[in-house]
Amino acid sequence: MMPILQMKSGDEGQRLDVMLVEKYPEVSRSFLQKWIRQGHVTLEGHILKQHYRINGKEKIIVADFEKTFSPSGRDGRSATKEGLSLPTQQASQDRLGRFILTESQFPAVPTVLFEDEAMLVLDKPAGLVVHPAAGHHGDTLVDWLKIMLAPHVLQQFPDPNRLGIVHRLDKETSGVILVAKTIQAQLSLSKQFQSRSVCKTYAAFVIGVPQVAQGIITAPIGRSKKDPLRMAVTPLGKVSETSFVVEKIFDMASLLQIQPKTGRTHQIRVHLAGYGFPIAGDRLYGGSNDWTEAMKIKRPMLHAESLEIEDPQTQKRKTFKAKWPVDMKQLLLKLKKTIPLLLLSCCLLNQSIAETTTTSSSATSKSTTKKSSAAYLRLKKEMDALRSETDDLTSQLADLKDQWDKLGASKRLHDLEQAISEINGKAVAGLSTSEEAKTQALDANRKVKSLQETVDELRDQLDRLQQRMTQKTGDAAEATPLSSHPKPMQADATSDKDNSRTAAP
């Protein structure tokens, strides 16, 4: 009997594939989308599309789904998601009751480094995509989480394509990645990444040798206008900062320890390529050449080695580390062999020159012809040239050793660089304070000028009032009979008027 899903008012507005994920949490969304595309989900005989919106009243039929996979897992059968056998209760389980997937069941299986009630720390293998995207569906880390995490954990997160993932790694980058199992943990970890309090350390093999033992690359990163798949250093990009330390130097490559302060897309790859030493095997940013092909490097040699965060539950700092993958270990062994092989080749070259000299000397002693003498001279010149090349190689090896010895001393400059950085910060802060004080002074000058203008206007008004009062006093004196005011009194009044006019200004 075909299962019938009766929709309710609470399902109104949902996409069909999202609704089926809620109804069948044990099945991945990519499998259900394929199930819909194959025409196994119908409504009144009509095949539905995965983007169909539920109206809350229909009865949807999922054809033959129960025969292929039971949500409760009691029948012991399993669904097939694009060739992937999903687990059932008969599959092996770990101590937490979750299904244990092998590489035959799920390609590029992550390794659990740590887990508690709040978060899950994984070692992501190279080749595993984190989120489903327009160019990639199925077999992502999100699909793996949908199988591994309990239904009550999955139901907390509104976006089924992100779940509790708080940061990301590129597809071909291996290493530590965090997954929150609660909303509270997701908020806590997200704030730490936004505030840049998370300490991320990467290991990378790069082509060439940096000119400095350590450095900080600060260059804005944005989407490339020429190629939308690439990121690039551009003035209109976002502020980005990456610090690096040279750990080891080899013949054609170097091993770096990298700590990105910001988390822009392809940040490490773009910064190192722009600085002149791209990551070995990074074909997108110039890290592929004859040497990488000879070394059989198939991907960018970049590994998220460690991650230090504040535990969302205990608020204590914790560090999680992921061991190097096999391909990076093999590359390290190959690079370590290059210097001994170079020394051995020099020794063999010297031995060959000595043997050739002995043979040639005995040959010339037996022959006295001009022809053999000319051959001997040519051979001697060739041996001298070989000796010169050997001396050059030995000198280069000595220079490399000196450079390696100097690296230890150059690391002592790190504290000085930090001090200079702090001084620059204080200087910038001082300039900012000076600008604020200058602005305040200009505002005060404007206010004083305004007050001065107001005082001048009041003073002019006072002068006009005094003039009017003086005029009225004179008019009153002229209107008064002469007999009532003796002449001496008039003289005094006139004198007072003159004094008042003189004192007015």
DSSP classification of residue 222? E
Q: How many CB atoms lie within 10 A of CB 3?
A: 14
In sequence order, what are the residues at sequence separation of 6 or more whose Cβ sits closer than 8 angstroms to the Cβ of residue 176? 113, 121, 122, 123, 124, 304, 305, 306, 307, 320, 321, 322
DSSP classification of residue 209? -
Greatest Cα pair distance, the chain, in angstroms, is 165
| 240 and 220 Cβ atoms separated by less than 8 Å | yes
CA distances for 411 relative to 218, 253, 401, angstroms: 20, 20, 16
User: Which amino acid, one-letter code, is at 485?
Assistant: H
CA distances for 40 relative to 11, 137, 266, angstroms: 20, 20, 40
Give the 3-state secondary structure of residue 115. Answer: strand
Tokens of 418: 């930090």
Query: Degrees (nearest 5) of the Cα angle 256, 258, 259?
Result: 165
User: Which amino acid, one-letter code, is at 154?
Assistant: L
Catalytic residue positions, numbered: 170
**CA–CA separation, 101 and 144 (whole Å):** 9
Q: Which residues pair with 243 in a beta bridge?
A: 216, 259
**CA–CA separation, 264 and 130 (whole Å):** 16
Helix intervals (H) in 149-214 = 151-154, 183-195
| 15 and 32 Cβ atoms separated by less than 8 Å | no
Q: Can you give the length of the chain in residues?
A: 505
DSSP, residue by residue, 253-303: EEEEEEEESS--TTHHHHHHHHHT-PBTT-GGGT--SHHHHHTT--S--EE
Rg (CA), the chain: 42
